[in-house]
């Protein structure tokens, strides 16, 4: 394992980030990058090596058409956790310090997601990069191929699902030139300066008065790249997905109180894939997945009105291709791990 000190201005570009974060980031790494890989998969981990390992193994088992590298970035700063990460030929491992944050509105938190994404990209070399949380898995062969085929000169970002209305950066495939040539970075921002620069965003955010859940006044980690693409006249792509905190068949549009048609009336900067399978067929075809995802661990959930489900992403053939466990279902972590371990075993 090698130690390296990286100046913060090699990872972040904006004044907000440079004035907030330390001048240098200390990293320890064990790199095994294949220079011929087409996609580098960066997995953000924090304190749960079994999750990162299961996600990495799952991706390697299912992505056998496109040459990939796996880069696990552990942001807890724990050497013990780092030592538990898997040793595989295609897996590189990076350990960074735990950078805590305190926000006047959002409270205690961490810059771990932002810094680990930036550090992972710093060491990556492939023409495309897929950013992943460690509570995500694929379910179909060549899963990245579905996102890759969406990318071209006008669409350079594609994601398996969305957060509010924009593609979710937690499972986003991106042309590395977008980040390399960008004027922004991975930090979270308390305001959104891109709205005034885009007619589409202005039209979209004009709906906020009647749609309080519509997010326009802040930017989550990595979303600035998406907003910047929209301002620059580029499209961004989102696969069809459903599930979450409100029910199995609830899409993100349902959660915020909008329809896809409402957003398309504001403009066509975001390409939303159509859902090509109905609820009955999905339940029949993926009964084994739904059974694993049910959260029956405690009576409190059973009596609660809030039913948490994993989020399911599908391709244009109606096949379930990707699953996100989600923070909202944290108490089902044991059930999730059992499901992923069994799935990986069957795949192997």
pLDDT confidence bin for 293, thresholds 50/70/90: confident
116, containing H or E segment: helix 112-123
Alpha-carbon span 8 to 174, nearest angstrom: 22
Strand 155-159 and strand 171-175: the pairing is antiparallel
How high is the pLDDT of residue 100?
78
pLDDT at 25 over 60: yes
- For residue 91 the two structure tokens come to 């897996």
The residues, ordered by sequence, that sit 6+ positions from 338 with a Cβ below 8 Å of its Cβ are: 292
Ranges of beta strands (E only) in 2-96 are 2-7, 24-30, 39-45, 68-74, 91-96
Three-state SS at 201? helix
pLDDT in tens, 169-196: 999 999 999 999 999 999 999 999 999 9
pLDDT at 201 over 90: yes
Range 332-336, long-range pairs (CB < 8 A, 24+ positions): 332/293, 332/295, 332/297, 332/308, 333/48, 333/51, 334/297, 335/292, 335/293, 335/295, 335/297, 336/135, 336/292, 336/310
| Size of the chain in residues | 348
Q: What is the mean pLDDT of the chain?
A: 91
pLDDT at 327 over 70: no
Mean pLDDT check: name the lowest of 16-25, 274-283, 331-340.
331-340
| Averaged pLDDT, 270-283 | 94
pLDDT in tens, 43-66: 999 999 999 999 999 999 999 899
How high is the pLDDT of residue 287?
93
Q: Which of 311, 315, 285, 275 is nearest to 137 (CA)?
A: 311
pLDDT in tens, 203-220: 999 999 889 889 898 999
pLDDT at 295 over 70: no
User: Residue 304 gets which letter from DSSP?
Assistant: -
The answer to whether 51 and 22 have CB atoms below 8 angstroms apart is no
**Interior/surface letters 255-268, b for 16+ CB within 10 angstroms, e for the rest:** ebebebebbeebee
How high is the pLDDT of residue 213?
87
pLDDT at 69 over 90: yes
The residues, ordered by sequence, that sit 6+ positions from 304 with a Cβ below 8 Å of its Cβ are: none
How high is the pLDDT of residue 301?
53
- The CA-CA-CA angle for residues 109, 178, 46, to 5°, reads 25
Alpha-carbon span 261 to 127, nearest angstrom: 34
The answer to whether 53 and 69 have CB atoms below 8 angstroms apart is no
Higher pLDDT, 298 or 311: 311
pLDDT > 70: percent of the chain: 92
Q: DSSP per residue over 130-156, as a string?
A: EEEETTEEE-STTHHHHHHTT-SSSEE
User: Residue 248 gets which letter from DSSP?
Assistant: T
pLDDT at 329 over 80: no
pLDDT confidence bin for 30, thresholds 50/70/90: very high
* Positive or negative: CA dihedral 97, 79, 32, 136: negative
pLDDT in tens, 104-139: 666 666 788 999 999 999 999 999 999 999 999 999
pLDDT in tens, 75-112: 999 999 999 999 999 999 999 999 877 666 666 667 88
């Amino acid at each position: 394992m090698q130690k390296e000190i990286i100046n913060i201005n090699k990872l972040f570009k904006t004044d907000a980030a440079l004035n907030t974060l330390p001048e240098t980031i200390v990293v320890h790494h064990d790199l095994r990058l294949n220079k011929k890989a087409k996609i580098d998969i960066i997995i953000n981990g924090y304190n749960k090596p079994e999750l990162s390992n299961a996600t990495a193994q799952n991706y390697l088992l299912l992505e056998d058409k496109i040459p990939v590298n796996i880069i696990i970035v552990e942001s807890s700063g724990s050497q013990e956790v780092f030592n538990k990460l898997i040793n595989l030929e295609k897996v590189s491992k990076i350990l960074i310090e735990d950078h805590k944050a305190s926000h006047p509105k959002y409270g205690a938190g961490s810059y771990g997601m932002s810094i680990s994404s930036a550090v992972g990209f710093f060491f990556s070399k492939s023409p495309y990069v897929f950013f992943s949380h460690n509570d995500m898995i694929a379910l179909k062969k060549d899963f990245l191929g579905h996102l890759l085929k969406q990318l071209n000169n006008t669409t350079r970002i594609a994601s398996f699902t969305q957060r509010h209305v924009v593609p979710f950066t937690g499972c986003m495939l991106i042309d590395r030139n977008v980040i390399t040539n960008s004027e922004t970075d991975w930090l979270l921002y308390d305001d959104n300066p891109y709205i005034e620069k885009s007619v589409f965003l202005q039209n979209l955010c004009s709906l906020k008065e009647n749609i309080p859940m519509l997010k326009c006044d802040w930017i989550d980690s990595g979303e600035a790249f998406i907003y910047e693409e929209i301002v620059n006249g580029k499209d961004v792509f989102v696969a069809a997905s459903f599930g979450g905190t409100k029910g199995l068949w609830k899409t993100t549009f349902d959660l915020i109180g909008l329809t896809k048609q409402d957003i398309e009336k504001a403009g066509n900067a975001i390409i939303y894939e159509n859902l090509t399978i109905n609820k009955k067929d999905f339940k029949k075809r993926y009964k084994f997945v739904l059974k694993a995802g049910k959260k029956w661990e405690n009576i409190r959930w059973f009596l609660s009105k809030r039913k948490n489900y994993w989020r399911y992403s599908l391709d244009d053939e109606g096949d379930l291709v990707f699953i996100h466990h989600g923070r909202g279902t944290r108490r089902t972590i044991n059930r999730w791990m059992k499901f992923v371990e069994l799935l990986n075993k069957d795949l192997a």
